[in-house]
């Protein structure tokens, strides 16, 4: 991260020096609007650790959606320990489907034969239902799922968990400071009704945003297929045979 912007207060001072503004509150308002523009940003720094972020199924086989969930990347189950204590499989990789599909397919799953000769890795499905994730095949109570996802991030000047301390840094400011700078300047000049300057900084913001998103997508997909597609992308897939 740039040493010129070590934290949230440094960002305010940088923008004030750049624009000549003396109004801290105005700059903070522009920063907040910028954060709204970046709320769906995908950055490597925002990825969870799927081997430590574990979801546990309740009595209904549902897993609560984590409070810091932004969007799923891939969910999987590593199977049960073998004789030596190592995870022996089978592994299940879950494709994401819509809530209507997950509900209707769960209702009719008993009409299908269960798979036989299960491979070491096979595919399941999951979807959001209310504030929970529902899975197919159904999970038993206490089943665990590895959750790999993009996390939300705390906005600058919001309160920490102690409800007293202001947030002075986050993963986005640390790894993508240009997003904060360009977006804040765009919103500052837009508020001042300086359309040309606002448009120039918006273009810079969009270019930086698209660049980092492109790098992120290549990092996710190019390790598998150069077409930027993946077996982990959601799709309709039947693994049951009808009676």
Per residue in 43-84, pLDDT tens?
888 999 999 999 999 999 999 999 999 999 989 988 765 555
**What is the pLDDT at residue 136?**
87
Per residue in 184-228, pLDDT tens?
999 999 999 999 999 999 999 999 999 888 877 776 655 444 443
Query: 117 pLDDT exceeds 70?
Result: no
Quickly tell me which residue has 């309740």 as its tokens: 58
What number of other Cβ atoms are within 10 A of residue 139's Cβ? 24
Quickly tell me which residue has 């940003």 as its tokens: 41
Domain residue ranges of the chain, discontinuous segments joined by +: 8-39+154-221, 47-151
Q: Is the dihedral of CA 178, 29, 171, 17 positive or negative?
A: positive
Per the structure block, which two tokens stand in for 3? Answer: 């040493």
Q: What percent of the chain has pLDDT over 70?
A: 79
- Exposure letters 167-193 (e unless 16+ CB within 10 A, then b): bbbbbbbeebbbbbbbbbbbbbbbeee
Query: 235 pLDDT exceeds 80?
Result: no
**What is the pLDDT at residue 230?**
39
Confidence of residue 118 (pLDDT cuts 50, 70, 90): low
- Report the distance separating Cα 75 and Cα 152, nearest Å: 17
- Report the distance separating Cα 176 and Cα 209, nearest Å: 9
Its pTM stands at: 0.79
Quickly tell me which residue has 């000047």 as its tokens: 157
215, containing H or E segment: helix 195-221
Per residue in 14-44, pLDDT tens?
999 999 999 999 999 999 999 999 999 998 8
**What is the pLDDT at residue 194?**
97
- Which SS3 state, helix, strand or coil, does residue 56 take? strand
Q: At what angle do helices 195-221 and 177-191 cross, to 10 degrees?
A: 150
Cα maximum dimension of the chain: 74
């Amino acid at each position: 991260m740039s040493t010129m912007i070590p934290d949230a207060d440094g960002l305010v001072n940088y923008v004030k020096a750049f624009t000549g503004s003396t109004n801290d509150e105005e700059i903070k308002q522009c920063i907040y609007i910028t954060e709204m523009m970046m709320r769906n940003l995908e950055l490597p720094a925002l990825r969870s650790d799927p081997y430590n972020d574990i979801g546990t199924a309740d009595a209904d086989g549902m897993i609560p959606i984590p409070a810091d969930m932004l969007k799923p990347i891939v969910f999987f189950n590593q199977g049960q320990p073998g004789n030596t204590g190592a995870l022996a499989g089978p592994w299940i990789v879950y494709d994401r489907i819509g809530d209507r599909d997950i509900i209707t397919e769960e209702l009719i799953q008993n009409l299908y034969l269960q798979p036989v000769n299960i491979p070491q890795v096979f595919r399941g499905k999951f979807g959001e239902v209310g504030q929970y994730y529902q899975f197919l095949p159904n999970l038993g109570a206490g089943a665990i799922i590895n959750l790999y996802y993009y996390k939300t991030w705390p906005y600058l000047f919001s309160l920490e968990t102690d409800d007293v301390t202001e947030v002075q840094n986050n993963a986005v400011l640390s790894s993508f400071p240009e997003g904060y700078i360009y977006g804040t300047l765009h919103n500052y000049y837009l508020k001042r009704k300086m359309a040309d300057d606002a448009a120039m900084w918006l273009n810079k913001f969009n270019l930086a945003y698209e660049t980092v998103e492109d790098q992120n997508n290549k990092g996710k997909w190019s390790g598998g297929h150069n077409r930027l597609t993946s077996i982990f992308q959601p799709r309709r897939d039947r693994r049951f045979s009808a009676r």
